[in-house]
Structure 1
């Protein structure tokens, strides 16, 4: 899954042939390269506590990488925008709930809320005040202690219904490891 390498216990030999690491970058000039004058050390010289900074197993180590989930979803929408594109009056509210049923391999729930409100401040609707909100929360329940990392909330991209973060691929920004990503506020 997305970001799954971060979900496996750390290993200095994840990629074959990697046996050195940067101790201290002595020259961080981007034109010369950050490693040009760096002090290099052998990975085998590192003590175990430096190789496994987080000794807790990751999500894939705890739950595996193949799941049979039975999911139920529900959505509600209230739409009063005056146009589908470039609206300048009205509102849109959306609520979505996704829950895996008890007995699924992973038991979790995600709740999303988004809205857009447009208030024209001139009679010709040339000037408009617009507000937009995206909120989300996810959690694991039952035998799943946390929201699966591949269901974390991410930002990035241009998604219809609100400007996200331009210049980044859709849903590419955010924690892709188990630490974080349960909340969305925008």
Structure 2
């Protein structure tokens, strides 16, 4: 009975699941079990807003329905726009494609990203592709997923593009057509699908641009969460999370594609630092030019949090305040080559040095408000250095239906 209740809660479709048991008349060894559920919005029209001195206002919208027409199928449609990117995507997933729980999904996307006005290195990419994926349950809590996609990526450079990127394009070309294969293992033992307060979650994923593709590489990433309830009603809890990533080239004579690098900073990463701005800095294209973020092929990230109840709020499942300590950064296992004339100005340092991790502390809030889900943080970086881009206040907002 308890396991069935947890299954319903993990779906994320219901805000409340209650169990009622009644004896069956004339059958002393039987019970009627009734699950009373309160449905919560499973679709969302989302909007996110951010601000940095270099990029200004960044906004985006999307449409998602995790229980399409009550079938349990997931549909996502997005059309996003900002000063730096335009993207259109469509994804459909049938989580119960077969009776034994195998899922099947499709996705099509187009993405145009211009980093010239952001803190990330000055370049742009045009990418489009399509893919298919399958999921297979291996236990009550664990699942395997496999996917394949075909992608075409074109890199554009500018007069002030970093020397590392200009050298990469000079050596490897500005277009890459790749067949990508993905595989992942997920184990979910959280007590709820939304705003959990107990349990654990692990995910291990592998992505590769297979040999024969223009970009041959692999990328491994491991994520984990662990929540320890402090009180009986599970409104207080300790939460620990980690995110580790490593990527490298499969071709001994070719560098790892820089546009596949990991980035760190911002909501969901190291709060208090502007999104995606942590990591190795580039070599400016000219003397006196500005260095920018290059990201890295190694990611180290983690956080420790205390979840606590919101005073004067009746439904604690709709709001989750937190006190947090975040840490993280990205690193390069080896430096990219630069143009010959810029070799004397390269400032790259390779290898993983945990002394370069950035830390921040603060308070955050996730809230399913009447006008949509709201997430914000107020954070103070503890060891920001010259060149780091910090943000005291960060938030995202959406509308549910």
Q: What's the secondary structure of 2:176's corresponding residue? A: coil
Alignment partners' CA distance in 2, 1:115 and 1:55: 33
Q: What is the alpha-carbon distance in structure 2 between the residues aligned to residue 55 and residue 184 of structure 1?
A: 20
Which of 252, 275, 296 lines up with 1:181 in the alignment? 296
Q: Deviations over 1:73-110 (max 9, x none)?
A: 11211111111222110111111100111111111000
Query: What is the CA distance between 1:58 and its match in structure 2?
Result: 2.1
Q: Is the 8 A contact 1:149 1:176 kept in 2?
A: no
Residues 107, 143 of structure 1: 8 Å contact kept = no
3-state secondary structure, aligned to 1:126: coil
| 1:26-105 alignment, distance < 5 Å | 58-105=167-214
Counterparts of 1:165 and 1:62, CA distance in 2: 36
Conserved? CA contact 1:98–1:109, under 8 Å: yes
* 1:114–1:55 distance in 2 versus 1, CA, 3 Å: closer
Q: Name the stretch that deviates more: 108-117 or 56-65.
A: 56-65
The root-mean-square deviation of aligned C-alpha atoms, in Å, is 3.4
8 Å CA contact retained: 2:225, 2:240: yes
Deviations 1:119-176 (A, max 9, x none): 1122222321111000000000225533211111101232xxx45424623x343337
* Partner residue in 1 for 2:239: 130
Structure 2 CA distance for partners of 1:87 and 1:8, relative to 1, 3 Å: closer
In the alignment, the residues of structure 1 paired with residue 170 and residue 186 of structure 2 have an alpha-carbon distance, to the nearest angstrom, of: 38
Residue 150 (str. 1) matches residue 259 (str. 2): yes
Q: 2:271 aligns with which of 151, 162, 165?
A: 165
Inter-CA distance 55–165: structure 2 relative to 1 (3 Å threshold): closer
Structure 1 unaligned runs (5+)? 16-53
Query: Cα offset for 1:183?
Result: 0.4
Alpha-carbon distance in structure 1 between the residues aligned to 2:217 and 2:246: 11
- 1:4/1:56 CA distance change after superposition, 3 Å: closer
Distance in 2 between residues matched to 1:151 and 1:176, nearest whole Å? 16
The structure in which a higher percent of residues are strand is 2
SS of alignment partner, residue 60 of structure 1: helix
Check conservation: 1:99, 1:110, Cα contact below 8 A. Answer: yes
What TM-score comes out, normalization by structure 2 length? Answer: 0.31
Determine the C-alpha separation between the residues in 2 that align with 1:180 and 1:168. Answer: 13
Contact 1:136 1:185 in 2 (8 A): yes
Query: Is the 2:263–2:295 Cα contact (8 Å) retained in structure 1?
Result: no
CA distance 1:166–1:55, shift in 2 (3 Å)? closer
Q: Is the CA contact 2:156–2:174 (under 8 Å) kept in the aligned structure 1? A: no
Contact 1:150 1:176 in 2 (8 A): no
After superposition, the C-alpha distances for 1:1-55 in whole angstroms (9 at most, x for unaligned) are 75355x999x9xx37xxxxxxxxxxxxxxxxxxxxxxxxxxxxxxxxxxxxxx79
Question: Does the 8 Å contact 2:205/2:220 carry over to 1?
Answer: yes
Name the CA shift for 1:149/1:4 in 2 (closer, same or farther; >3 Å).
farther
Q: Aligned equivalents of 1:134 and 1:116: distance in 2? A: 9
